Structure 1
Amino acid sequence: MRASIIGLFLVLISTQWSFAQNSATEQEIKDLSKMKWEWMAEKDVDKLAKLFHERSKFVHMSGTWKKAEELDIIKTGRIWYKKADVHDVAVEVFDDTAILWNRITLQAVVRGNEVSNEFTVTEVYQQQGSGWKLLALTFSSVRDTHTIEH
């Protein structure tokens, strides 16, 4: 009986520790995504270059491109991500991979025109060493009534 109680206690403790670890990782990814939006608004391509994986892909309404072009688009202001108002965030962690969904209103300047769009943005991160790299970022056009299930 005592062994069963100790076994159950150990299972509960390990489950709570695993949940706490996952929650900390989820918060780390949320914070990283928030910083990414700030760096995009500030056109800080040096910080973004460190975050973006060398083979990362970016899917926009007008096309899909790789890291170098995304950084050039930000640097030259072809797209200026002025402000991303984040309305909802969900994160799922799978071993060394994390997927984050943001529901945002994006204020941007695209080819000289001020625009505002509702998007769900899917971001895929992979842990590499002690940090995370962004592998993919996809903008999906949605209605303002769209919700992200948690």
Structure 2
Amino acid sequence: MKKLIFNMLFIVMGLQLSFAQQSSPDQEIMAISKEKWQWMADKNTSELDKLFHEKSMFVHMGGSWGKQQELDIIKSGGIWYKKADIHEVSVNIIDNTAILLNRIDLLAVVGGNEVNNPFMVTEVYMKQNGVWKLGSLSFTKLLVPDSR
């Protein structure tokens, strides 16, 4: 009887460990977003090219454009996303679409000038064939003082 109880306890503990190691879709999206900020800082356009959907759109303070123009701007250094300090993150998943909101302070170099701005960034991801793709990235400048 003791052996049966011990085996049952071992199985239950193993299942709990197995579930604890799985990430939720929310955590998966947050991790993708965080990695994206690093790729943008590193100007890693090859990884960004894989992440950005072919029809993705980007909205900035200076305009809006599609995937190729965003990649070209990052590669050329027209916008260098040096560091995104992330203060808040929320994720809302609707079917195969995830909407992530980031409140960040973004240190960037734009047109050769270093700037620091508080933004609410909206990222929209779609899951296609088991892979999350970024469909939209929009920056909204916040009217609050920089937290630095």
TM-score (norm 2): 0.81
Q: What CA distance in whole angstroms lies between the structure 2 residues aligned with 1:97 and 1:66?
A: 19
Residue 143 of structure 1: how far off its partner (Å) = 2.8
Once the two structures are superposed, the pairs formed by residues 1-150 of structure 1 within 5 Å of their partners are 24-144=24-144
Residue 144 of structure 1: how far off its partner (Å) = 3.4
Structure 2 match to 1:13: none
Q: Which runs of 5 or more residues in structure 1 are unaligned? A: 1-19, 146-150
Report the AA paired with residue 31 of structure 2.
D
Q: What CA distance in whole angstroms lies between the structure 2 residues aligned with 1:35 and 1:111?
A: 24
Q: What CA distance in whole angstroms lies between the structure 1 residues aligned with 2:38 and 2:27?
A: 17
Report the AA paired with residue 119 of structure 1.
F
> Larger Cα Rg: Structure 1 or Structure 2?
2
Q: Tell me the SS of whatever aligns to 2:65.
A: strand
Residue 142 of structure 1: how far off its partner (Å) = 0.5
Report the AA paired with residue 107 of structure 2.
Q
Q: What CA distance in whole angstroms lies between the structure 1 residues aligned with 2:101 and 2:139?
A: 10
Residue 31 of structure 1: how far off its partner (Å) = 0.3
Q: Tell me the SS of whatever aligns to 2:43.
A: coil
Deviations 1:17-68 (A, max 9, x none): xxx9xx7000000000000000000000000000000000000000000000
Q: Which runs of 5 or more residues in structure 2 are unaligned? A: 1-19
Residue 131 of structure 1: how far off its partner (Å) = 1.0
Instruction: Work out the number of aligned pairs and report it.
Output: 124
Q: What CA distance in whole angstroms lies between the structure 1 residues aligned with 2:45 and 2:128?
A: 20
TM-score (norm 1): 0.80
Q: What CA distance in whole angstroms lies between the structure 2 residues aligned with 1:143 and 1:94?
A: 29
Report the AA paired with residue 30 of structure 1.
M
Report the AA paired with residue 84 of structure 1.
A
Deviations 1:89-145 (A, max 9, x none): 000000100000000000000000000000000000000112100000000011337
Q: Tell me the SS of whatever aligns to 1:122.
A: strand
- RMSD, aligned α-carbons: 1.3
